[in-house]
Each structure stands twice: as structure tokens, then as C-alpha cells.
Structure 1
Amino acid sequence: MRPSELVGKVLVGPNPYFGAPDAPNEGAVADYFRDATWTVADLDEVMQRKPEPGLVMSTVYHILGYSDAPVAHNLRFLLWQAGVATTATLWRPVISGPFSGCWLFNIRDRQVVHVGTGSGAWAAGMNVAVKTAFRNHVRGLRPGTVMGFSPSEYVNVGTLPGSTPAGDDFTSKEAWGMYTTDGTPWALGIGKITGGDGQPIGYYVLEARRAIARTWENIDGQHEDWL
């Protein structure tokens, strides 16, 4: 299924940040991801199974027994951590988020990297450290083999709808980034749907935009978000 075909559908799977292992140390370039089977389901099916307020959904988010037999996809979720360049091998589609200014890189169609930066004065030193670590990570690679984009350039979270077509409010609206297995970059606008326990039970795909990745040579020291 192409990412554009996900619009109007709900990604249902385990909360990737729930029970995640300890994050790598600040300034590291290191693997930090979760593999899981995600279901692409219709909104009405998800809402029928959404618990009433106060009830617990537990941690079983992959929905079984749907009447329309929704399609299951094996996805790799690349976790975000401020001050860390988190990595994942690109042998299945890689999704990461949320993004509010960070960059998502593809190195030789083999490795995806989420360079986790922050905003504000408190993050200045941390941002310098993680960007320096990433520069060192890609130093010496052949020009044109490191590509990247900023998903929040393509998804304006402020203009995304605040609720589903049925009128159920999203807990949050987010920009996510994705690389398909052939290295194609996509930006997704996501509306998070939560259960009674506050844990996500689905991620409604509001929009999917084919992104244009820039070469590392045109990003480092050139793009305003990377200076």
C-alpha cells in the first residue's frame, strides 16, 4: 500500500514509546527503534472498539477479528530522543515521529536516522552536540548518498483538522516522517486517538505528502533549520 493510500485510514498498533528501552546517551548515533505489525483499518471499526471514558484499553492495540479483515503491515518505528541521532536499518518501511523541526535522513538506502533536536535556549548545546555527532557519522561518504528532509516542512500541524470526520477530537496532531523500502521520503499528518487509559489506540492519517529529500551537501551549513 502506498503511503498516499493511507489517508483517511487508521494505523493501529502498539504505542512505540510505551515500554521502550532506555534511550542512548545524549550525543550518540545509535539504534533506537521498535518493530511491530500495524493494521490499516477503517475509522468506524476503530471507534466501535474505543472504550468508554474511564475504561482501560490495556496494551493490546493490534485489533483482531475485524469484519473487513484489515491489512497488516510490518513497520519499523524509529524512536525520537532529544540530543540523540537515532538509527534503524531500512529493510522494512521506517516511520518516525513526531517532528517539529528535526530532520530525517536516509543513508545509501540502508539506514534511516532521526536527528533529535530541541528548541529554546536550553537545547542549544545539545543541538550542537547531536549535529556534530551526525556530521562525524556521515563524514567521508560519497556525495549524494546521504539524503534528508524535515517532515514539518510538509505538514502544517496547525491547519490539520482537530477531529475525525465523525467529530471525535484528536488527543494531538503530529507530523511524522517515513521512508519506504525503496528510499522514497513521505511526510504524514497524524491525528492521535486515545483510549480510556490515555494510551493511543490509533493514528488517523490526515494527509500524506511525497517529500523531496535534499542531499547532505545542500543541507549542512546551507539550510536555515540546520545552521
Structure 2
Amino acid sequence: MPSPASGAQSQPNPASTTGDKPPPTSTGDKPTTPGKNADPFAPIVYVTMRDRQNGLWFCTGTLVASRKVVTAAHCLDPMFVSFKIIAPHSPIPTTVSASNPVVFGQPMDFEDVAKPDAGFLTLDSPIALDAYAALTDVVARVDAGEALEVAAVVRTAEKPQAPLEEAAHLPLSSTVEYGYLHGFGTPMFTKGGDSGAGLFLVENGVRTDKLVGIARQPEPARGIDHFTRVDADFLAWFKANAGP
């Protein structure tokens, strides 16, 4: 099993990534439909973390409100002392600091796959979007055998601010049989650096903003990417802890 922060990809040589810049939004002057973002990647953010030795690490996250980013719990490990959120596809590309990491399923034990691996950060200033990702519980549908497709938005390379792309639409399954009691899985597709990335429901062949899972870790031996599912327990916990 991975160490607590092994899913958060380190930046071993800061100079090697200084040329990375957030990719520009690709929507130009397209009008925005009320309640829908002109750029479909708008809620997707880079999460960067500094440890006590000032080392830089990175994950991915999803804006579910103007000041709330959902990501993997191991990206919020106590070894990290500061956080920044970079929103390259928001209407005005934005970088803000974040604080108050809160983890679902305390106490933290990332090596115990029976426990969830999800949490959230609170931004120190809001990021305004026309729409945010919607936390969505599809557990009953998966357990009933419904064939659901999902897609994630991930980095094109294992670099802190590599351009984002929509991954292939893949079948969603439960991973409870493998001991992940809060788990969903897909065929493995990630390139690295995407711990905490959102997994979104696909409807009528189109990726929606319905967030159904949070990237946890790959398992090459089984060819699975593991995700912590958004379920009734997570929704109740988030409502109780995220505030208004």
C-alpha cells in the first residue's frame, strides 16, 4: 500500500518545472449559458502543497462551491503546512491560498483501503464560476447493476501544471469486493499526478459536472484506478462540516 502522501506527486527539481504555466482557457468569447460554464474544465483545479522542508507536492481537486475544493485526503496529510489552489480554466485564471483541511473518516489511515480517502480545503478567497461540480451519489445505481459511464479530467503529463484533458469514458464499478468499502473503480488510465481528481458521470455521451468519485490510487496488478465514492455518508459529512 502507498505511504500517506505517496499519491501526491512530488516536484523533485523545482527548476525543471518553472516553465510550466496554467494553460489558457480555450473558450474565447463564447457566451456563457446561465448555470453552465463556458469552459467545461472550469471546476477543475491544481492543488499544490508545501511540506515542512518547503518541498513542493501536487494533487488535483474539484471546486464544488466558490470556496470549497474536494480532493483526496492523502493530499491533506499533516506533513503539509500550506496549500494553494490554481484554477487555470476559471473565467479569470486564478491562484489563491487555501487552509483548514478537513478529512472524511478520521482518523487518517491511508494504508487501510477499507477507509475512505477524501476531504476538502477552504479557499481563503472565492473563485467565481457560473456553475460548480455537484456532489452526486450513484452507489445504489451501481449496486443495482446499472451500466454507468464516467470520465475524469486529468493532467496530460506528471507535472504540477501540465495541461488538462478529458480522459476516455469508462465503465464504473464497485471495488468493495477488493476491500475498498468506500470504493469505485475504472479500468486504469491515469498518467500520474492526479490524486484527488474528480470522477464525473457521463450522460448521453457527455461528461457532466456530477462528481461521483475522488481519485485515490492506481492498482496496476488488477488494472484498476481506485476512487473514493461520493455516497450518502460522504454527503452527510460534507454538509455537516463544509458550512453554508
More RCO (CA 8 Å, sep 6+): 1
TM-score (norm 2): 0.25
Greater Rg by CA: 1
TM-score (norm 1): 0.26
